[in-house]
A and B are shown apart, each in its own frame.
Chain A
């Protein structure tokens, strides 16, 4: 890890004003991804700006819905009564992630910005288009077992966001509040926040260099109250998803009124599947509907040598998640 200067910001403007660009400086909250990547020399910042003292806290319900401060910790949010009861998919996505120690440190804003676990990205001995544009993508012929099958490009097949929370957030139409150095705030739906790799896999989102995530809001909805996050992984805890599904259903009289579907572990970004949702709305909540939705969700999937299994596994994950959430009534 290189030497860096450290600034502890007490006001938002102090933090955003100090941020020059994404290469030379970085914000640090929990540090659970950033410190890792700096130790690996994948990221080398001259300056770290500590944002932990900023007042981006709070977990509140208003008429609009849920608001989570970006500096709330994963464990606090995951265990919060309001979230457990009204937004179960968000709670589950947090509590099924990482380990207790990491959840106690990692912030919500940082989680949304978590970077890929693609092994080629994380080891500077390998070429990687995401880390060093134009060097190539060895993952396509290598260790691609846990990489993406949807939304990838020739330049990059990483699951750019490997975590769980954003899968639930994208399913439930979350909106991010961002604030820049001028103190100006803007709201970006999380579905427009992440960028597909295309020819520029190193650009992962629409966050400007001087912008901080301030809060996440999630609209109140019946499909949020009846939501669920399901995760399939190699071991029972402390493992990234092979596949996951965040679903929300509003079923009335056996018919699906509204549906939300997002998939994890399979997309180049957290994968909202409107295709699956369209197959659900207006249909009876039964297995054949769920199967049809799952088939729609993976249409166009492009597997590599070691990750073709995800095509079936993610469909089964989605069907199981939908079945369980529908059974909740």
Chain B
């Protein structure tokens, strides 16, 4: 066990937390910020994918004659002539080295497994010529009838045992859920349906592959994880990692769809090798629906048993969903159901059906988003059934510890404060508990609420901090910025770590030549990268402290290094804080131009283990020092359960004649540890709620049942909210200190904003109309039908 040089206490902050403007804002509005398809490259040529019209069958002929005659066409690659990867992907998948959500790589043979699967890659001197040549390729197929989803009468539902491609157990049993449910005096059972959703980031996925010799490659890639892209390519191509450079300076959103390695990237890299030219491929908007995953179509059945007093006694969760012909992917909806409330008995199981679709993938709060729709809708129903206020009902079942994980204590949880503040801001006390009572003109008005939560996904990464004697610094970590503010918030973290104003700090990210960082996904980037920067800063502090204590001119001369503390760039004696000086002051006397620190930082359980295990409390807490228990045994740190929590409050208006639902007010209050930047954090939680409102009210990709092909793969017919759909929103944070999760007490906020949103809307709709909407999206046709159904 490593000894801590510095105590793991939360440091004071100055730049951190402030609503600082984005450091990349000016570059973005000036068009100077380069996205992956925007780098000028000498000799660049353009690739366009030709994709399959059919969902199942076999290619019988590819007629490229007309396409090849088009001016500017350089090459037409098909399964017959595209270079093969160095290793077979399926083997790599087993080795878990190819970090692909989908284990199947298209264009390796004549088989077709899903509509939109790539069948050819055309390379031409311009994008327009490549596009037209691709349109002229005539592919003949031997067509077979596809299976479109788990609804298909020909689909076979099976128990996958494990989901998320083996990463997560499909079965979970805690206590005796069946017995407890059978004997529960109050019961509730309901089935919830979730449409196919697509991520639809503004920036389509793009790859620019530049070979520099036969074994050196640079790829400008729209990826949420450059390290993952680098490793996947290294394994597929059979060349060492360090000879592959991935650059991703800016992303126009991703929401999970750029967090895996997808076929178009390797196909572009292989095609670039075939034509021996730098090659760029940008997916078209329709191709974005069949190239980078989606949130799967699914239904969940949730049974909840409670006592007459309203205490939960059992929850039984089952989910059915569609997966691809090869992979067992399902979002793990049951996790949030298992952990959110105090309930002694729980079980979960999953069923999948194979269909002719590509493998689905994580999408903003995978599992938590649809899982919370089922749970928080059922909770609302139960509250009504028990004649209780929904908020009071949640407080009655408040989980004081994590029942889903060995009853661990929470590292921090401010949910009660979120409920209270949210209720106050929203005016929850004015809600009429009786549904269908409030009207505004012709519209029915209702209020609903739901709980939000998201786990801390433990992670680690490295950073480098370089302080110059003239008082400026460069901070580096190979992170990515989805557009959410990583550039900015890490500048703030670097500023406080070194005691510099933010304008004296330049943060660099998005290049595999920088120290390795995790991707932006699972809400882990902010927590991990900030912790890495702090660890690198500590490494630098130690070096400067060593210099100071050996320097006669320093107020810290001859001090014991471990007696020195650093806060906001100033070193001082712990016992006499007056005595000290800044890092820059000590460095400038040394004659060195600069000094560097580099280290690995952790987020989540790894951080706690490293910094608190020595303290050895029951949960490794500093408040409860370690040592031996009353039986004389060494106390074992069991650790904390780490999650963010929040509360959503929503008002809707429902037009009873048209079934249209519009959100008219929104309040979200969240406890997410140390907020790094109030402005970008608030924006991210607006975004989460808007994303959730989209999923609740309008987002649905329609897959034709006979052709297993999407019909609305464009942004005119796949509806996401427009400004007019979104009311003024209030987002607040409650102050929360969490010393266990990382060096600054930061929890990720990329995903919590969407969790519970659909239920908050559905609960408000119930309050407005007395009708329970259990199928997403809640489009006017479904609402109208519900309004006409008695019961």
Residues on A lying within 8 angstroms of B by beta carbon are 1-3, 41, 117, 119-120, 123-126, 138, 141-143, 145, 232-240, 242, 306, 309, 312-313, 316-317, 319-320
Contact = CB atoms under 8 A, between A and B. Distances in A.
Nearest to A119: B711
Given A41-B135, A142-B704, A313-B658, A1 B128 contact: yes
B724 A236 contact: yes
Contact of B780 (A2, A142, A234, A238): A234
B30 interface: no
Nearest to A317: B658
Contacts of B707: 125-126, 138, 142
Given A235-B722, A235-B725, A320-B657, A242 B780 contact: yes
Contacts of A117: 716-717
Contact of B711 (A1, A123, A234, A313): A123
Given A2-B135, A126-B709, 16 more contacts: A2-B132, A125-B54, A126-B707, A142-B711, A143-B711, A145-B702, A232-B660, A235-B725, A236-B724, A236-B725, A239-B719, A242-B781, A309-B659, A312-B788, A313-B780, A313-B784
A14 B725 CA distance: 46
Contacts of B698: 234-235
Most chain B CB within 10 A, of A235, A306, A320, is at A235
B135 A235 contact: no
Contact of B705 (A123, A125, A142): A142
B50 to A, nearest CB: 11
Interface in B621-662: 657-660, 662
Going nearest first, the 8 A-B pairs with the smallest beta carbon separation are A125-B53, A119-B711, A236-B724, A309-B781, A316-B657, A143-B711, A237-B724, A142-B704
Contact of B781 (A141, A145, A240, A319): A145
12 contacts: A41-B135, A119-B702, A126-B709, A142-B711, A143-B712, A145-B702, A233-B660, A234-B697, A234-B698, A237-B723, A237-B725, A309-B780
Nearest to B115: A125
Contacts of B704: 126, 138, 142-143
Contacts of A319: 657
B42 interface: no
A141 B706 contact: yes
A68 to B, nearest CB: 26
Contacts of B705: 141-142
A15 B659 CA distance: 47
A101 to B, nearest CB: 12
A241 B326 CA distance: 40
A316 B711 contact: no
A38 to B, nearest CB: 11
A232 B723 CA distance: 17
B788 A237 contact: no
Interface of B: 53-54, 115, 128, 131-132, 135, 657-660, 662, 697-698, 702, 704-707, 709, 711-712, 716-717, 719, 721-725, 779-781, 784-785, 788
A138 B712 contact: no
Contacts of A41: 135
A120 B721 CA distance: 24
The secondary structure that dominates the B interface is loop
A64 B759 CA distance: 56
A312 B657 CA distance: 9
Contacts of B784: 309, 312-313
A239 B784 CA distance: 19
Nearest to B705: A142
A143 B702 contact: yes
Contacts of B131: 1
Nearest to A143: B711
A125 B658 contact: no
Contact of A232 (B658, B724, B788): B658
A123 B716 CA distance: 14
A320 B780 CA distance: 16
B706 A138 contact: yes
B780 A232 contact: yes
A313 B709 contact: no
B275 to A, nearest CB: 23
Contacts of A313: 658-659, 780-781, 784
A286 B716 CA distance: 37
B153 to A, nearest CB: 14
Contacts of A312: 784, 788
A3 B66 CA distance: 14
Contacts of A233: 660
A236 B662 contact: yes
A44 to B, nearest CB: 9
Contact of B719 (A119, A126, A235, A309): A235
A237 B716 CA distance: 11
A142 B706 contact: yes
Contacts of B132: 1-3
Contact of B658 (A142, A236, A316): A316
B62 to A, nearest CB: 16
A254 B658 CA distance: 27
A313 B656 CA distance: 10
Nearest to A306: B781
A317 to B, nearest CB: 7
Nearest to B663: A236
Contacts of B711: 119-120, 123, 142-143
Given A125-B709, A142-B707, A234 B779 contact: yes
A104 to B, nearest CB: 17
Contacts of A143: 702, 704, 711-712
Contacts of A3: 132
A141 B704 CA distance: 8
A316 B787 CA distance: 13
A120 B707 CA distance: 11
Nearest to B116: A125
A238 B724 CA distance: 9
Nearest to A238: B722
B364 to A, nearest CB: 19
A123 B712 CA distance: 10
A261 to B, nearest CB: 17
- Among A124, A145, A234, which residue has the most Cβ atoms of chain B within 10 A? A234
Contacts of B722: 235-238
Most buried by A among B658, B697, B723, B780: B658
Contacts of B723: 237
B721 to A, nearest CB: 6
A213 B711 CA distance: 32
The listed residue with most B CB atoms (<10 A of its CB), out of A125, A141, A145, A239, is A125
Contacts of B780: 232, 234, 242, 309, 313
B152 to A, nearest CB: 13
Contacts of A316: 657-658
Given A1-B131, A120-B711, A234 B719 contact: yes
Contacts of B721: 235
Nearest to B714: A122
B761 to A, nearest CB: 14
A162 to B, nearest CB: 10
A142 B719 CA distance: 19
B57 to A, nearest CB: 13
Nearest to B783: A309
Contacts of A142: 704-707, 711
Contacts of A237: 722-725
B70 to A, nearest CB: 9
A64 B135 CA distance: 50
Contacts of B658: 232, 313, 316-317, 320
Nearest to B71: A3
Task: Give the residue among B711, B712, B779 with the most A Cβ atoms within 10 A.
Answer: B711
B666 to A, nearest CB: 15
A309 B783 CA distance: 10
B720 to A, nearest CB: 8
A26 to B, nearest CB: 17
Contacts of B128: 1
Contacts of A236: 662, 722, 724-725
